Structure 1
């Protein structure tokens, strides 16, 4: 008999705002899972580019194969080396956070620019500490990757089931881009998780995650609709923020796997 609270799915998103990759196990690090949002596209102002402005970004599908990352878009494939980067540092920005990044290579930036129809650069964050995010709630600063705010996002299965019970058109968990999906008893109980262990890793819950228009982008088609944000806003609006899932940090490094029990 499986534990009530156990890991059902694990995802990483190597390039910020592109499609994710489902994994059976992942190596948790302070900045997030290994290879999770270590890359992003920036515009000519050196600011991050996301599905909020360009929903078509959901149609770029990454795959990690050995020491390479392959990106598929409309049956075209482009690849680059995981450890590849140019030597000149770029001072970029993710929301209010300054981030030191490095361009992967000119050919990859041109490929993305051609496909998206505007000039952009694929960059990589190299090491822990190259971006720091301050939690206004905890008055604490965290080393993070290129994710919006925190290294990990966890969602309980009952939260999605409860939402789908209110929607005419059912959606999948991919709308919310979680890193960890766990089986739960009640909708949104993950909001109140404190400190817990999965596999080799201890996690700390920071705060429920406020959601934006990006969850309305159908990841299978790259089309923005009115749901699920419209429905969520009716019962998950707290202090003008629509909450779904919760943000975590890891307190140590290690491996977690699908099937691992969540130990409180």
Structure 2
């Protein structure tokens, strides 16, 4: 009876032994632009600190993404190395540094006050944001070839909640909808073994890459511990056009989506569900401790063990 009870909680595994380890951490300060690989990242109420804090918008305040503007893949972003450590705060000499082909380097101060503008929107959310000023607007307008602005999430007055159908009480900034995306190296390796031309992990833009587990096992993880933080897998990640965009050239193709349709579609993984034509790769996460702003700063580091405490028996049982 005791074995059955603990098996139901821990999915039949032994919680004293890690299922995987964190092998890489990625942060994407500007939505749809280049990511930064870091050795550790601090947990905030909206996800990793600095992740998707900024957004490029058109003249109507609507977000640009790689889905429509694939050249955003070529925008490289840099933050001070110290920005990813506990307790760091920007000074007058701290900048968000932005580079792109054919453009001069843009340096956006991290500590200055910004004008609040209304009418900014991304997907279902709309509200106010902090305008990063004329120089940034001119830079992105030139790069995009049309009027554009760089804005920052206005944490002082705005909240963007995660879909309560999947995770109640959580929030995010300018991500597609969830604070974290987790993928495994095993899943990428399995896909690359099938593809004619292997692709790098940056096609899938995860926040947390783990290694040491079976391919696609992350589909089934619903409760896990990483550095004593409780992370919940709340929704399989349905992939959009972005994985088909080469992040080094900004050119879109048909892969890996065409191959994923053969074994990662809802028709294959979830045949009894309503079919939406989705393909799935990765697991969206929330972190329980992100709801509490009190106490010692929380972070996840490369090398941290991942303990899976609860899982479902198949992707068909996972939320999607």
Task: State the TM-score, normalized to the length of structure 1.
Answer: 0.93
**Corresponding position of 1:81:** 109
Secondary structure of 1:114's counterpart equals helix
**Aligned: 1:159 with 2:203:** no
Q: Gaps spanning 5+ residues in structure 1: where?
A: none
Shift of 1:88: 2.4
CA contact (8 A) 2:116 2:128 kept: no
CA RMSD of aligned residues (A): 1.9
Secondary structure of 2:166's counterpart equals coil
CA contact (8 A) 1:91 1:99 kept: yes
Stretch moving more, 63-72 or 169-178? 63-72
**Aligned: 1:210 with 2:238:** yes
Question: Aligned equivalents of 1:56 and 1:232: distance in 2?
Answer: 24
Question: Aligned equivalents of 2:197 and 2:113: distance in 1?
Answer: 42
Question: Aligned equivalents of 1:134 and 1:180: distance in 2?
Answer: 19
CA contact (8 A) 1:195 1:205 kept: yes
CA contact (8 A) 1:84 1:105 kept: no
**Aligned: 1:117 with 2:175:** no
1:208-247 superposed matches below 5 A: 208-238=236-266, 239=275, 240-247=277-284
Stretch moving more, 2-11 or 105-114? 2-11
Which one of 18, 37, 50 corresponds to residue 35 of structure 1? 50
Which one of 57, 60, 63 corresponds to residue 48 of structure 1? 63
**Corresponding position of 1:15:** 30
Question: Aligned equivalents of 1:224 and 1:128: distance in 2?
Answer: 37
Higher helix share: 2
Stretch moving more, 185-194 or 87-96? 87-96
Q: State the aligned residue count.
A: 263
Secondary structure of 1:234's counterpart equals helix
Question: Aligned equivalents of 2:221 and 2:47: distance in 1?
Answer: 18
* Deviation by residue 1:100-125 (Cα, 9 ceiling, x = unmatched): 31111111111111111111110000
Higher strand share: 1
Question: Aligned equivalents of 2:171 and 2:157: distance in 1?
Answer: 5
Question: Aligned equivalents of 1:141 and 1:233: distance in 2?
Answer: 33
Question: Aligned equivalents of 2:130 and 2:229: distance in 1?
Answer: 30
